[in-house]
């Protein structure tokens, strides 16, 4: 009997396609698994190497107890810049002095000093915070109003009113002065310069609070070219009291070149007409020359040649100023010589040579006036000059 073997015919295209799809799926599964392993296990974590406060905090910071404006968040430099964890945490070493919120808001609580610390990825930096009753405002600059000054030989000028310290509300406005040529121009602690010899020099004003803040004056010393009484045209005068109503008594009379007009003040402790002056108060008058001039004498023309009891006998104090508000003492107890003589014009009454716009003449003590007669002191004309 013949055995016949039957062979099953394979479908090769179907088998090949199925095998190919299986391999593709297997490959994609492996690729997805590898990507997952890279993300979770192999991503780089960049650590912080250094954290440092900005310079305005690093050097120490002062704050007023009522100042709630300081926020220190993001006021640090983090290295490297692309560090993974840049979260900032803050702390105060003495929370009774000041606290710091999570958002970096600083709240002063009492006077004293505390250390403020920032932590970023386990790296730290700190600065000292000082809580004060009033915040210290530092000097930033000194500006000079008039840089070039001509100074007459042997004359003085006060520089204190000729520069500005900024900001205007700086806490410490103390300054020091120096002269590059002290043999030509000297300067004292109050800023008064004196011309010693002809030549030029530089005067420097330096802030004690901030030595980098300076102002400079270029000073040239010249010889005085004018001698004698200055022209009084345009000058004005004011006094410590209202002038009493009598005759030609007025504030313009001493400067009007009219010997028939006069100016009078009621003496301390006296009353006349509508004016009464307590004996505890002094009296004064101020001459405004409208510009700075070098002066080393004044003189008085008394009201007349007969009423000696109306005359000034002594000027107790003489002051100078360039702003009309802040005055510097120039001389004390200047005697009005020859006041007892019939001649109404006094001689030149010497005072230290000074350069100012305003000159103030003050009297209070009994020696300034006739103590036995009269309630007023009077003059016809008043002069200032240089000799």
pLDDT digits (tens, 9 = 90+) for 128-177: 999 988 778 899 999 999 899 999 898 999 999 999 999 999 989 999 99
Q: Which domains does the chain have, with CATH numbers?
A: 50-132 (2.60.40.1080), 141-222 (2.60.40.1080), 229-386 (2.60.120.260)
Q: How confident is the model at residue 33 (pLDDT cuts 50, 70, 90)?
A: very low
312 CB neighbour count, 10 Å cutoff: 23
Distance CA 120, CA 49 (A): 10
Per mean pLDDT, which range of 16-30, 260-274, 279-293, 351-365 is the poorest? Answer: 16-30
pLDDT score recorded for residue 21: 65
Phi, psi of 332, deg, nearest 5: -130, 145
Q: How confident is the model at residue 226 (pLDDT cuts 50, 70, 90)?
A: confident
Percentage of the chain modeled with pLDDT above 90? 82
Gyration radius of the chain's alpha carbons: 44
Looking at residues 303-316, what average pLDDT do you find?
96
**Element holding 14 (H helix, E strand):** helix 12-41
pLDDT score recorded for residue 5: 44
91 CB neighbour count, 10 Å cutoff: 15
Cis preceding linkage at 59, omega within 30: no
pLDDT score recorded for residue 28: 57
Distance CA 102, CA 98 (A): 14
pLDDT score recorded for residue 26: 54
Contacts of 37 (CB under 8 A, 6+ apart): none
Strands 328-335, 271-272: pairing is unpaired
pLDDT, averaged across the chain: 90
Residue 193 scores a pLDDT above 50: yes
Contacts of 80 (CB under 8 A, 6+ apart): 46, 48, 49
SS3 340: coil
pLDDT score recorded for residue 27: 54
Q: How confident is the model at residue 41 (pLDDT cuts 50, 70, 90)?
A: very low
Distance CA 71, CA 99 (A): 11
**Element holding 319 (H helix, E strand):** strand 314-321
Q: String of b and e for 159-196 (b: at least 16 CB within 10 Å)?
A: bbebbebeeeebeeeebebebebeebbbbeeebbbbbb
pLDDT score recorded for residue 8: 44
SS3 253: helix
pLDDT score recorded for residue 38: 44
Residue 23 scores a pLDDT above 70: no
pLDDT score recorded for residue 133: 85
pLDDT score recorded for residue 34: 47
Contacts of 256 (CB under 8 A, 6+ apart): 381
Tell how far CA 32 is from the center of its chain. Answer: 72
- Which of the pair, 334 or 171, is modelled with greater confidence? 334
Burial class (CB in 10 A: 0-12, 13-18, 19+), 226: exposed
- Whole-prediction pTM value? 0.49
């Amino acid at each position: 009997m013949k055995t016949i073997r039957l062979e099953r015919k394979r479908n090769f295209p179907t088998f090949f396609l199925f095998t190919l799809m299986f391999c593709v799926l297997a490959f994609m599964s492996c690729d997805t698994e590898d990507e997952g392993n890279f993300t979770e296990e192999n991503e780089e974590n960049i650590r912080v190497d250094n954290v440092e406060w900005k310079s305005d905090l690093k050097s120490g910071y002062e704050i007023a107890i009522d100042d709630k404006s300081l926020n220190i968040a993001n006021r640090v430099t983090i290295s490297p810049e692309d560090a993974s964890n840049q979260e900032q945490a803050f702390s105060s070493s003495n929370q009774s002095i000041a606290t710091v919120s999570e958002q970096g808001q600083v709240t002063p609580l009492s006077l004293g000093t505390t250390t403020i610390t920032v932590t970023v990825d386990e790296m730290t930096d700190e600065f000292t915070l000082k809580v004060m009753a009033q915040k210290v405002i530092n000097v930033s600059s000194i500006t000079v109003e008039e840089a070039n000054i001509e100074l007459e030989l042997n004359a003085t000028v006060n520089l204190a009113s000729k520069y500005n310290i900024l900001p205007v509300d700086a806490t410490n406005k103390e300054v020091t002065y120096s002269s590059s040529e002290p043999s030509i121009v000297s300067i004292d602690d109050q800023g008064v310069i004196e011309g010693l010899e002809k030549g030029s020099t530089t005067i420097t004003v330096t802030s004690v609070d901030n030595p980098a803040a300076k102002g400079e004056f270029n000073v040239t010393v010249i010889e005085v070219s004018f001698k004698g009484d200055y022209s009084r045209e345009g000058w004005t005068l004011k006094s410590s009291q209202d002038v009493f109503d009598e005759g030609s008594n007025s504030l313009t009379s001493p400067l009007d070149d009219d010997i028939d007009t006069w100016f009078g003040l009621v003496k301390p402790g006296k009353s006349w007409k509508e004016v009464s002056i307590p004996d505890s108060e002094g009296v004064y008058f101020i001459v405004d020359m409208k510009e700075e001039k070098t002066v080393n004498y004044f003189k008085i023309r008394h009201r007349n040649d007969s009423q000696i009891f109306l005359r000034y006998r002594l000027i107790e104090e003489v002051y100078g100023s360039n702003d009309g508000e802040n005055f510097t003492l120039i001389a004390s107890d200047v005697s009005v010589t020859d006041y007892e003589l019939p001649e109404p014009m006094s001689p030149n009454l010497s005072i230290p040579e000074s350069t100012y716009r305003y000159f103030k003449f003050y009297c209070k003590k009994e020696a300034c006036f006739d103590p036995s007669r009269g309630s007023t002191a009077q003059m016809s004309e008043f002069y200032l000059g240089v000799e």
